[in-house]
Amino acid sequence: MARITVIGGTGYAGRGIVEAAVERGHEVTSYSRHLPEDRLDGVEYRTGSFAEEDVAREAVDGSDVVVVAVPPRGEMVGRVGGAIAQLASIAQDSGARLGVVGGAASLRVAPDGPRILDGDVPAELKPEMLEMAQVLSDLRAADEALDWFYFSPAGGFGSFAPGETTGKYRLGGEVLVTDAQGNSNLSAGDLGIAILDEIEKPAHRRERFTAAY
C-alpha cells in the first residue's frame, strides 16, 4: 500500500485517480480548493492551494507519491508552472515521487511531426498548452534526484467526453495515441487506472507517457 496524495483530487482527472487508488487499497489524500459534496469513503479530503508553500509541504509530508491534476485555468492561470516547480523541490528533498497530469498539446501528431500545440489550435487555449509544455521541459531539466512522471491524456480527454471505464488502454510516449479512425479518447476512470499502474509498477521514471484507446 502506498500513501498517495492527489492535488486537484476533486476535478475530472483527479477524481479518476483518487477512485482508482481507493479501489486498490492505497492510503489516499485529496487536496482541492473546496470540499466536494460527494465524497468517497477511504479518502482524506483537505483544502488549500498548492501554490502556497505551507500547503505544498503538507501535501508532500508523509506521501510516497504526489500527483498534480490541476490545469492552469481560472485562479490558477499562470500559476501552475511555478507551483509545480516549488512542489518538485519539496518532493526531491523528501524522496517522494512526483506525477503531473498535463495536457495532450505537447504530444507530436507523428514521430517526426509537429506538436499539437504548434498546429491550428484555439488562441484562448494556447497559454494553457504552453504553460503545461513548459512544466514538462522543467521536469526534464530537473535534478536527477527528483523522481517524476508526466502523463499526457488522450487528445479527446475531458468531461465533455466522459466515456466508460474499461480497464484497457494503449500506451505511448511522445506521439498522440489514436485508433484506426484517428480518434484519441480515454475516460477519467481509465486515466486513473493508467496512472495507478505506473505508481504500482514504475515504467516511466523521469519520462512522459500517454494513453488512449
pTM equals: 0.96
Instruction: Return the number of other C-beta atoms located less than 10 Å from residue 85's C-beta.
Output: 14
Q: Average pLDDT, stretch 168-188?
A: 97
Sorted by where each begins, the domain ranges of the chain are 3-212
Strand-pairing partners, residue 98, are 66, 148
| pLDDT at residue 154, rounded to an integer | 98
- pLDDT tens by residue, 38-56: 999 999 999 999 999 999 9
Terminal C-alpha separation, the chain = 28
Over residues 102-149, the pLDDT tens digits come to: 999 999 999 999 999 999 999 999 999 999 999 999 999 999 999 999
* CA pair distance 95, 141, nearest whole angstrom: 18
Nearest to 128 by CA among 147, 112, 105, 153: 105
Q: Which residue has the cell 521514471?
A: 205
Give the domain 3-212 fold.
Rossmann fold (3.40.50)
Q: How many CB atoms lie within 10 A of CB 204?
A: 16
